[in-house]
Amino acid sequence: MQIKEHLQITGTALKGWLTAQAYDALAVGLLWLVGLLVLGVPLAPLWALLGALFQFIPVIGTVLALVGPVTAAAISGELESMLYVVILYVLIAAIDGLLLQPYMIKRTVRVPIWASILTPLMLGIFLNVWGILLSIPLLAVIYAYRAHYRGRSS
């Protein structure tokens, strides 16, 4: 196999991963928008847009997405509203991590859902933040090569 073929397989896999990230960010942004509008948080569309954009920042992006809505809820004067925003954040993080992201990865780069849930956990244990950051793009590349070699042998 030549370098050009390796670059093509890897590039296609990483493009699929980035596409999955974009769809995931869009879905998370919509979840933020609906949730914040229901809660009546000021500037909800802005916070939802930032929440979607922060999805592209691994590990800390989801936490950064929480800062604006919590601050807006606090400034609006309702401490109860702050608590509801935190609960919304927990729900969105759980839905995203356990359902949306694995589904998007499965649809775009053909990584099984179980692998896209377990691999970040396992690599996170052994390699800390780097394991979490690299796990899904690495899985995308591994499964792209797997598909390539299976296609060659058929």
What confidence tens digit (pLDDT) does each residue in 117-138 have? 899 889 989 988 888 889 999 9
Do residues 136 and 17 make contact, with C-beta atoms less than 8 angstroms apart?
yes
Q: Which two tokens stand for residue 84?
A: 């509801």
- The Cα–Cα gap between 85 and 67 comes to 10
Q: What pLDDT band is residue 60 in, cutting at 50, 70 and 90?
A: confident
- The Cα–Cα gap between 85 and 98 comes to 20
Q: Is the dihedral of CA 76, 78, 79, 83 positive or negative?
A: negative
**Which single residue is written with the structure tokens 């954040």?**
89
What is the reported pTM?
A: 0.85
Mean residue pLDDT across the chain: 91
Do residues 119 and 132 make contact, with C-beta atoms less than 8 angstroms apart?
no
- The Cα–Cα gap between 123 and 19 comes to 22
Average pLDDT over residues 92-105: 92
Q: Which of 31-40, 85-94, 99-108 has the lowest mean pLDDT?
A: 99-108
Q: What pLDDT band is residue 59 in, cutting at 50, 70 and 90?
A: confident
